[in-house]
Each structure stands twice: as structure tokens, then as C-alpha cells.
Structure 1
Amino acid sequence: MLRRFFRLLYVLGLLAMSSCAKPDLPASVVRAGSEEELAACRAELVERFGADRLAAYDVALQELQLAGMDRGVAAAADRAAAMRAQVNGRTVRAVEILGWQARRTRLQAEIKDFSEMLARDLALREKTAATGTPQAVTHRIENEQDILAKLRRLLAEAEAKLAAWDATGPAKDRSP
């Protein structure tokens, strides 16, 4: 009987400790009411989980700031404030999803722009082939092809990350 009592206490103790445990990284809530609060929140996350586990989160924050430029937010401080307003109170995973979706959108736009430049330069190369394509055009074509290859690789990585999070569609924020 006494053995059962101690087992019960042990199990209850484990349950109590697990209910007090801090959430894992994806479920952690981001506090970003100010620049200082976001920095303190990140410092806490680094302390609890290590800087290497925050790589996708850090990229997401940068991408959300870059997305502000597409929305016409000119000043860096204004873009940072808009990003903080967007992420404040969301989970780390929700922030990662939003940021990586913004990254995917940015990469798709850049691929479109570089594809159009490449198409123009390829047409120019065809047009000047008989008389000799200028070296500058040849170099631009090579550079555009290299850049497109890199952008497509980065897009594939973003798509894979979003698929791993089951977030290939619109943002699925499960928090406020």
C-alpha cells in the first residue's frame, strides 16, 4: 500500500512539473511591443534553445522587414516597427511561417524579374549573333543565369521549409 502511495506521489509530481514546463520553441510566444522587448525576447529564446535553433526565426524577421519595402514603407525604422506589430503575440512558428512565406513571395518576384531580363538578353544575343554579340551581353546572360540558379535553389529551400511546417498556403497563424 505504501509503495502505491509513493508511486502516486511520483506520478503526480511528474505531472505537476510537466504542466509548469516552458513551451518548446515553436510554441513560444514572441513579445515585440518595442525594439527592446523583441531583443529581450530573442535573448531569452537564445538562452533557452540556443542561437542555432533560431536561424529560421531570424530569417523570418528579416524577410518581414524586407516585405515592408514592397508595401512602400521607406524608412528602415518604420519597417522594423511594422514587423514588430505583425509578430507581437504570435508564436515563433507562426512568425517563421509568415516570414518564410514572405521570402517565397520575394524570391518568386525576383525570379520573374531576372527571367524577363534573361529573355531580353537572349533575344539580343540572337539578334547580334551574325555580327558578333557584345561581350557585355554575354556576361549579363551568364550572370543572370547564375543568379536565377541561386534564386531557384533558395526558393526550393523555402518551399521545403514551408512544406515541413505544413504551411504551403496562406499564413496559418494559430495565435492572435
Structure 2
Amino acid sequence: MADVTFKGNPMTLRGEELKVGDQAPDFTVLDTGLEPVSLSNYEGKKKLISVIPSIDTGVCSTQTKTFNEKAVDVDNTVVLTISNDLPFAQKRWSADEGLQNAITLSDHKDLSFGENYGVVMEELRLLARSVFILDEDNKVVYVEYVPEGTDHPNYDKAIEALQSM
């Protein structure tokens, strides 16, 4: 498993770590309307999955905005931001930031995404900051488990991997 800390404290990640070349596992999360959403909802699209601990923090907010801005021009791509925030908080954040078209999804109910992608920080019941890029057939083409949960991911490297598909 990836070694991850949060504010310098070691975290135990639940689930299996994904690697480039793996077939991405399915998951069920909730959208801001409290409707279940799974990987199959985005069938046939490239997916940049941006995973954050909480939308209401500076780094998470920046990560969400940055990936939505940088991936907007990549053909046939959807950006999914997944956290354990309640759908209501995600919806409020999107409205406050003027990003009504951003797709924010909540894993708070079942931890389906977090456990299937190996990002549940057991000690906090939050998702570890990470980035997954999947091709149209849900093959993993890029993975980053950010070592320190309060640090930013490598935006340029992730976008480069997305654009190179």
C-alpha cells in the first residue's frame, strides 16, 4: 500500500492500491441530488478522478478548481471530484465557487469508491488525496497517491497523462 500521512501523522489506507494497467473497479457514490452514480455512468469517456479529503479546505478547493479548469479542453473527458463530504456541502461549494458544472460526488454513505480504490484513511474516515486517470475502457493510465494529505497533487503530470491518451 501507498505510504500516506496527514498533517505528518501516518495513515492506514483501506482497500487495494491501484496501479497503472489495472482495470478500474466499479463504485457507487451519491451526486449532489442524492442520486446513486457509478463508473458506468461515464462509459466511453476518459475520466480524471480527483480525490480529496474535504471540499471546504484550501488545498482541496484549489485541486477541484485546477483540474476542472485544466481538463476542460481535453476531448471526451469528464472530471469527477470525489470526497466523503455530504452532497449538500459539495453542492454549496460548487455554487459558491461558480462551478455549477463541476461533478462532485460523495462517498460518505458506503465508502464504495474509497475501499475499491484504496484511499480510505481509516483513522479519519476521509479519503486520501489522490488522482486516477482512466481511459474510455476504464483502464488505469495514471495514478498518484499524494504522500502527504495536505500537499497538492502533481497537476501538470496528471494533465499531461490525460492529454497523451
- Which has the larger share of strand? 2
Q: TM-score, normalised by structure 1?
A: 0.22
Larger Rg: 1 or 2?
1
Q: Which has the higher contact order (CA 8 A, sep 6+)?
A: 2
Q: TM-score, normalised by structure 2?
A: 0.22
